[in-house]
Structure 1
Amino acid sequence: MEMADLCAAAANSEERKVLATVVYVDGHAYRKEGALMLLGEQGSIWGSISPGCLESDLLACGETVLRSGKIERVPYDMRPEDDFSWGENIGCGGLLHIVLEPVTGELEQVMHEMHLRFLAGERVMLTRRYDWDSGTAEYELDGMAELQEASPWPEVYSRAYEGKPRLILFGAGEDAMPVCRLAAGIGFRVTVADWRKAMLTADRFPGAELVYGFPAELFALLDITSSDYVLLMSHQFQREKEFLALLQDAECAYLGIMGSRDRTARLTQELAMPMALYSPVGLAIGADGPEEIAVSIAAELIAVRREKQLVQPKGAARYEVSRNSARSRTQYAHGM
């Protein structure tokens, strides 16, 4: 889970909670610096910091934090020379420093405000100033991030957080269902759009926003922005052609098209498509069938979101298609 999920949980549950943040990592760890989770007083857990080996201990520490109302520093040294002495023999090989903060008072108000702003699609900078001696913290939203070298127990901790990016699935066919499920699981807010109303049901796409209409109607309703991810997988050539014609002047973070390279070339012929075009969609993992293809697509979405270069296996094809437009060349990454 990311901060947007945790703020939503904090806003929608009456259970008292503790926010756990990994502020420092040395060596290998299951999660990176910045990882978050919420610990509930009744044993509820939102998110994760480890594969499950630290959570029970963190819950016990969280009870102490809720009783005292003070922030706590919790180190876990799982490097080989110290792992056995710690007692769990986890073997992760890293040092983690975790800060536990009671979600009360100022922090509770801050997380509630962040929740509302995430719903509005805003990006939020949160700065925490820790007073380790008194066990208290001060919180500031939208201040300038204070540059500071990595510190085992930082006095100032600034990070930018964003709401869930939206993934728009154009097409509500059978193969869109596992994509919807996996995308929701990796932190996307999924919208499924189609002109076939009978296919747009909550049973088929639980938790997704369902938007009905033909391409021109959908384009007006969706209000696509530069932070949206768009995936065309209706398998209906003419409908996708109509939608792409409308989309060519919009900006989005990702545009994926299901199908062969030749099909995509015909779809985009004479259109000025954005450089963020991926087709065939998905990473080249040899996927076969809807479930595996959905995995390859989810992996590609993660890579794009994390701004990682998509490295293709040896022999994978990459090619460029000329366009009669200012954006004269569109690069396609070989997918499945």
Structure 2
Amino acid sequence: MDMKDLCAIARRERQQHIRTVLATVVHVEGHAYRKEGVSMILTEDGRHYGTISPGCLEEDLCGRVVSAWNSSTVQIIDYDMRPADDLSWGENIGCGGWLQILLEPVRGELENILDILDRRLEQGQVVRLTRSFSANGPQVDYILSSPGAAGTEIQLTGSMEEMPSPSADSQPLILAHDYAAEYVHANFHQQANHQFTFIRTYRAKPRLVLIGAGDDSQLVSSLAQAAGFHVVIGDWRGALCTTERFPGAVCVTGFPGELYTAISPQTGDYILLMSHNFPREREWIEHIQDCPYTYLGIMGSSERTRRLFEGLPYYPYVHSPVGLSIGADGPDEIAISIAAELIAVKRDRKLSAKEELSHVYRRTGTGSR
């Protein structure tokens, strides 16, 4: 569940007059289930959306909603699971790390911040949220900005003016990696006067364009959505390409030329061909020749893929046979191997060695062969 989902949930709960709190991991030392920057929504009636642990902290955090809502100071909760003899957390959570979690009642300025953030992510923008606060201080101060050129940012809240990037004088406690599971980059700074600054950058969900609405595409669509992708299904068979068969996805019906126009592939898209129709996929490949996609996965054997690209110029970022080599057998396991590969590419993880053969990267032993 990404931040855009949490923004929508916070708005829905607010409309139902249910008090909610945004919980955000701002500091981690040692091993932890999730990394700095991950958030979740907690409600006063004990529900939660999103996760920050394998399930051992959420109940405790839900029990803090009312006190956080009523508190007149900034609430930072410490969970220290590092001591080897700490049976209350160490064995149950299985992490052995130290987490600091910021609890923020969703009201007033934060409501406005989340609404703007939601709209900006819907527009595909990159948005940076800066929080400044002190432990037990009176409030959290927010700046929502859009990264600009030459070290400047466009402020999206307040005066809408250019502002310098955060001061380099502050001493970083944490520099989290830009892990693409949620397209997050988080920095935590502690300044000499005990003021804290937490910066997190959000990006919109990457889009997976899945060509082919057959039965084997259904689980791929579901898993890709769970992995943080916005899924678009394209097929010329209207009876198959429906939201009833692909809940949560956008369904577009048409032949390859029509699909290309309607979907309009763009920079950063992930494209997956699973129609099992050679002429249609060849036509689709010809249309995306100059498309700046990030990933092109093709179902089928290496020989079939070689024939698909025969006579065409070089295409980058081709994954065929599609899916990580996990020894997958059958459509369900193949779908899992495909989802795993999508996650690995999104996180910029180095995949297994590939050899280049006639315009296509080929991995031996993949489950979709």
TM-score over 0.5 for the pair? yes
In the alignment, what sits opposite 1:149? 172
Answer yes or no: is the 8 Å Cα contact 2:270–2:293 preserved in 1.
yes
1: CA distance, partners of 2:134 / 2:217: 49
Counterpart selection for 2:200 from 159, 163, 167:
159
Alignment partner of 1:198 is 2:239: yes
Alignment partner of 1:279 is 2:320: yes
In the alignment, what sits opposite 2:4? 4
In the alignment, what sits opposite 1:175? 216
Secondary structure of the residue aligned to 1:115 is: helix
In the alignment, what sits opposite 2:123? 120
In the alignment, what sits opposite 1:299? 340
What does the per-residue CA deviation read over 1:153-182, in whole Å, with 9 as the maximum and x for residues that have no partner? 841111211121111110000100000111
Counterparts of 1:1-336 in structure 2, within 5 Å, are 1-14=1-14, 15-68=18-71, 70-81=73-84, 83-84=86-87, 89-142=92-145, 143=153, 144=165, 148-150=171-173, 154=190, 155-311=196-352, 318-322=354-358, 330-334=360-364, 335-336=366-367
More helix by share: 1
**Which 5+ residue runs of structure 1 have no aligned equivalent?**
313-317, 324-329
2: CA distance, partners of 1:69 / 1:239: 62
In the alignment, what sits opposite 2:156? none
1: CA distance, partners of 2:352 / 2:141: 42
CA RMSD of the aligned region, Å?
2.0
Secondary structure of the residue aligned to 2:266 is: coil
C-alpha displacement of 1:263: 0.8
Answer yes or no: is the 8 Å Cα contact 1:76–1:95 preserved in 2.
yes
2: CA distance, partners of 1:274 / 1:172: 24
| TM-score, structure 2 as length reference | 0.83
**Which 5+ residue runs of structure 2 have no aligned equivalent?**
146-152, 154-164, 175-187, 191-195
1: CA distance, partners of 2:57 / 2:3: 20
2: CA distance, partners of 1:169 / 1:194: 9
C-alpha displacement of 1:85: 5.5
2: CA distance, partners of 1:175 / 1:139: 45
C-alpha displacement of 1:41: 1.6
Larger mean Cα displacement after TM superposition, 187-196 or 148-157: 148-157
AA aligned to 1:73 is: I
1: CA distance, partners of 2:297 / 2:115: 34
Query: Alpha carbons of 1:281 and 1:146: their partners in 2 closer, same or farther (altered >3 Å)?
Result: farther
Answer yes or no: is the 8 Å Cα contact 2:56–2:92 preserved in 1.
no
2: CA distance, partners of 1:181 / 1:85: 36
Larger mean Cα displacement after TM superposition, 202-211 or 124-133: 124-133
Query: Alpha carbons of 1:88 and 1:63: their partners in 2 closer, same or farther (altered >3 Å)?
Result: farther
2: CA distance, partners of 1:153 / 1:62: 26
Larger mean Cα displacement after TM superposition, 222-231 or 273-282: 273-282
Secondary structure of the residue aligned to 2:292 is: coil
C-alpha displacement of 1:80: 3.4
What does the per-residue CA deviation read over 1:68-102, in whole Å, with 9 as the maximum and x for residues that have no partner? 25431101011133522659743421111111111
| TM-score, structure 1 as length reference | 0.91
Identity %: 49
Answer yes or no: is the 8 Å Cα contact 1:39–1:62 preserved in 2.
yes
Answer yes or no: is the 8 Å Cα contact 1:4–1:115 preserved in 2.
yes
